[in-house]
């Protein structure tokens, strides 16, 4: 065996831990990116719903009784497949509380 080929094998062996560490860090970054994307998407959705609520108040002088009212009269499109919407109104002249939660999706093992 030549000395150069022995060094080449050792170099390959020494790079394996480095490659595994880089893959581990990349996977961690991707999952962090996914969580950040979900939070940004949810925040944008909450902002959009709030804009419709405020538009209704500005037009009619009262907040909508529910989100279905905004869908019917203002064209708000709600994604009930991926989100749960909690709309609590105390009085027609007090800003309602709006909470949007992402539904958990579980893959079924077969």
Contact by Cβ (8 Å): 48, 70: no
**Per-residue three-class SS string for 49-81:** HHHHHHHHHHHHCCCCCCHHHHHHHHCCCCCCC
| Predicted pLDDT of residue 32 | 54
| Predicted pLDDT of residue 110 | 47
pLDDT digits (tens, 9 = 90+) for 65-82: 999 999 999 999 898 888
Cα–Cα distance for residue pair 100/94, rounded to 1 Å: 19
Three-class secondary structure of residue 93 per DSSP: coil
Cα–Cα distance for residue pair 85/108, rounded to 1 Å: 25
Residue 108, CB-side half-sphere exposure with 13 Å CA sphere? 1
pLDDT along the chain (110 residues), means of 10: 61 68 63 55 86 94 94 91 91 92 67
Residue 4: exposure state from Cβ atoms within 10 A (0-12, 13-18, ≥19): exposed
């Amino acid at each position: 065996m030549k000395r150069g080929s022995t060094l080449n094998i050792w170099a390959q062996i020494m790079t394996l831990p480095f490659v595994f560490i880089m893959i581990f860090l990349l996977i961690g970054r991707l999952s962090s990116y996914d969580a950040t994307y979900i939070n940004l998407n949810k925040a944008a959705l909450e902002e959009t719903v709030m804009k419709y609520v405020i538009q209704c108040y500005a037009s009619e002088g009262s907040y909508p009784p529910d989100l279905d009212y905004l869908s019917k009269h203002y064209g708000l499109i709600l994604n009930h497949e991926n989100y749960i919407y909690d709309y609590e109104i105390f009085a027609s002249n007090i800003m309602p509380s709006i909470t949007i939660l992402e539904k958990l999706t579980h893959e079924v093992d077969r």
